[in-house]
Amino acid sequence: MLPPLIAALLEADRYPDPATGVELVETHASWLLLAGAFAYKIKKPLLLPFLDYSTLAKRQACCEAELRLNRRFAPDLYLQVVAIGGTAADPQIGGSGEAIEFAVKMRRFAEAGRLDRLCGRRKLHAKQMSALAATIAEFHEQATVAPADTHFGEPEEVLAPALANFAELAPLLPGREEQTRLARLAAWTHREFERLAPRFAARKAAGRVRECHGDLHLGNLVVIDGNVRLFDCIEFSEDLRWIDVASEIAFTFIDLLDHDQPGLAAWLVNEWLSCSGDYDAVQVLRFYAVYRALVRAKVAALRATQTSSDGGHANDYLALAERLANPPPARLIITHGVSACGKSRAARRVLLHDPAAATLRLRSDVERKRLFDLDAAARSGSPVDGGLYTRNVSELTYGRLYELAEELLAANWSVIVDAAFLERARRDSFRALAAQAAVAFFIVAPQARPAVLRARILGRLRKGRDASEATLAVLTQQLARIEALAADESNCLLQSALDA
């Protein structure tokens, strides 16, 4: 049975803007009233371990915090906090007199554009993940950094909620098999934390703990006018909001995996890394992903007890956590070929068809520009063999790619290095890295006819959106310089390895 206030607010004529009817959406913590072009969010008078809406003053403060925090990325959606006057039986939105409740007034959007809805209809694509990654990276860059003297992001604060998951899951999943799986995951969590504790501390010191969104699952992301937008961040808990940006991206990553979209999960992480340059996040990403998966397991198990269901979804999340904790053996892949031969397309296919979402891509065109603090799509105006494309800069670029690949392989992620690798010596260097890291080594070497190469380069130059700055003059030079794969290298071709 609805409280009198909410029942009364189902009448359309109580709203200041035109509405032919009112729809009610109820969550565990709020009522959302959809009236015409607007939505009004009213917080329930609840006191929970993680949330306190128990008094009118606290609900008002949380409404104001919700408005402030969400306007960081959706100022056009989050409009104002409105007072509700009158009585519960006869409420007046924005009425005079003493307020009996408060609501956050928002502009409505089409629910069909939410990413969880798009994903369910198989309408979510890599292009949208690229847009989302850029949006998140930009938001993180502008988000406030956690002060050094706060507890946010400290190693012990990272460990505590991870261990709490196991304490809370144990009575919810009492079966012997589930208990064994939880014990293995708890042991993994302890080992990883011991290994990563200095890394967590270093990331806070480097400013990677920030005032984030805190609840970045697909249901809180929406496409509006072709752009992916964030909304409905955590306002009621600083501990859930002031987190490592890697923990934030891990939330969306595991949600995509839960929706059986490993290719899009891998693509999102790769695009976010490409935009942010925060490759150090990879070192802690799996820890946070396992933690996020176990939070989901806990929520699913709680719901199962409330609905008397079998808890199958909780076990699905346990399985996801186990897969994340035990990724497949890493491998190192390099591309080979002149500009526009299809190297980036081939690398994209590798990412989007990785069932474990455990492959990361490094692009020479992006990292070369990052060395000079240029955006990937920026035009440097460099001539052939000049500017960003001198031999010395190329050496720096390949050195940076080697360094990053070494770090990512050490963290047990597969790596594909998207670069020309025209010279045998450079290919040999990365082959030796694979041997040093004890991982398999492959080469992707797409081919295209000269006429196709020229047409692709001209097309890219016209669009002006690609990180590559190759011109027809560059292509001519590359065709003259390229060192073909030797017989021993041909044995490393990825397609041959897949066919074997």
| Whole-structure pTM value | 0.93
Q: Mapped to the 3 state alphabet, what secondary structure does 46-75 carry?
A: CEECCEECCCHHHHHHHHHHHHHHHCCCCC
Q: For the domain 4-108, what is the CATH code?
A: 3.30.200
Question: For strand 78-86 and strand 101-107, is the pairing parallel, antiparallel, or unpaired?
Answer: antiparallel
> Model confidence over 334-359: pLDDT tens digits?
999 999 999 999 999 999 999 999 99
Per-residue pLDDT at 495: 72
Dist CA 495 CA 500 (whole Å): 9
| Average pLDDT, integer, range 147-161 | 97
Architecture of domain 331-499: 3-Layer(aba) Sandwich (3.40)
The strand pairing partners of 114, in sequence order, are 222
CATH 3.90.1200.10 in the chain, residues?
A: 115-325
Dist CA 25 CA 494 (whole Å): 50
Residues 6+ apart with CB under 8 A from 5: 42, 84, 88, 91, 100, 101
CATH 3.40.50.300 in the chain, residues?
A: 331-499
Neighbouring CB atoms inside 10 A of 373's CB total 7
Dist CA 360 CA 499 (whole Å): 23
Spatial CA neighbour of 35 closest among 17, 50, 47: 17
Dist CA 415 CA 361 (whole Å): 6
Domain 115-325 annotated CATH 3.40.50.2000: no
Dist CA 299 CA 316 (whole Å): 12
- What proportion of the chain, given as a percentage, has pLDDT over 70? 98
Q: What is the mean pLDDT of the chain?
A: 94
> Model confidence over 292-321: pLDDT tens digits?
999 999 999 988 887 766 667 999 999 999
State the pLDDT confidence band at 500, using cuts at 50, 70 and 90: very low
Q: Are 336 and 441 in contact (CB under 8 A)?
A: no
Residues 6+ apart with CB under 8 A from 379: 464, 469
Spatial CA neighbour of 492 closest among 446, 442, 445: 442
SS3 432: helix
Per-residue pLDDT at 499: 37
How does 186-211 read in b/e, with b if 16+ C-beta sit within 10 Å? Answer: bebbeebbeebeebbeebbeeebbbb
Cα end-to-end span (Å), the chain: 64
Spatial CA neighbour of 72 closest among 207, 205, 214: 214
Whether the CA torsion 188, 190, 191, 192 is positive or negative: it is: positive
Per-residue pLDDT at 422: 97
Joined tokens for residue 372? 């000079």
Q: Which residue has the tokens 């609805």?
A: 2
pLDDT at 174 exceeding the cut of 50: yes
SS3 18: coil
CATH 3.30.200 in the chain, residues?
A: 4-108
Burial class (CB in 10 A: 0-12, 13-18, 19+), 184: middle
